[in-house]
Chain A
């Protein structure tokens, strides 16, 4: 009985918080616009602050777009360690965000490629996952 009430409260509370947060976000944009930011500027800021682009993630970690996942991991670990000792929490966050962004993008790309390969009846065990060039070199 009590659990149900608590659950209802939590849902209601969550909804209120969510609405408040989105309102606050909208208000922040309005305030920003008044302060002279253009619509593109705001979108850029929102995009950059919320969504890390693939390119920026690569730049932050210092990897090329053709790098292997191992290279990414190496850079990630090195940067995390270095900034854990002597960096700022903010920099650590950026490194971490880039890493997790690349990870999800790489994994998603890999999944998509594997799916395509399977549909075409090609083997999916090869190490060349990254690039999108479809080199139909006849398999082997």
Chain B
């Protein structure tokens, strides 16, 4: 059994963490990212007893992985 990652989330998300959150590779194709996001969001939906903090992180992870992919607008 793998050892759990320690500690909390990174204070600022990066691509690596985003990929870990969604359980995909950083280089995963868009459809995979979207599918992982959908599946994980459903599991962690706040309305279904999940935590909104985690849900926000999952969303942020998707945006991060997809945003960079399409070379979209920088968030800065």
Contacts and interface: CB of A to CB of B under 8 A. Distances in A.
B29 interface: no
Contacts of A10: none
Interface stretch (A22-30, A75-83, A109-117, A125-133): A75-83
Interface residues of B, number: 28
B7 A50 contact: yes
B28 interface: no
Nearest to B41: A86
Nearest to A95: B54
A44 B42 CA distance: 31
Contact of A45 (B2, B4, B10): B10
Interface string A88-102: 111111111110000
Interface residues of A, number: 34
A85 interface: yes
* Chain A interface, >50% SS class: helix
Contacts of A14: none
A92 B54 contact: no
B21 A91 contact: yes
B4 A92 contact: yes
Contacts of B53: 59-60, 62
B40 A86 contact: yes
Contact of B11 (A48, A89, A91, A95): A48
Nearest to B45: A82
B42 A86 contact: yes
A30 to B, nearest CB: 19
Interface of A: 41, 44-45, 48-53, 56-57, 59-62, 75, 78-79, 82-83, 85-98
Given A60-B53, A86-B43, A87-B44, 17 more contacts: A44-B11, A48-B8, A48-B9, A48-B10, A49-B7, A50-B7, A59-B53, A62-B52, A87-B40, A89-B4, A90-B21, A91-B21, A91-B54, A94-B8, A96-B4, A97-B8, A98-B8
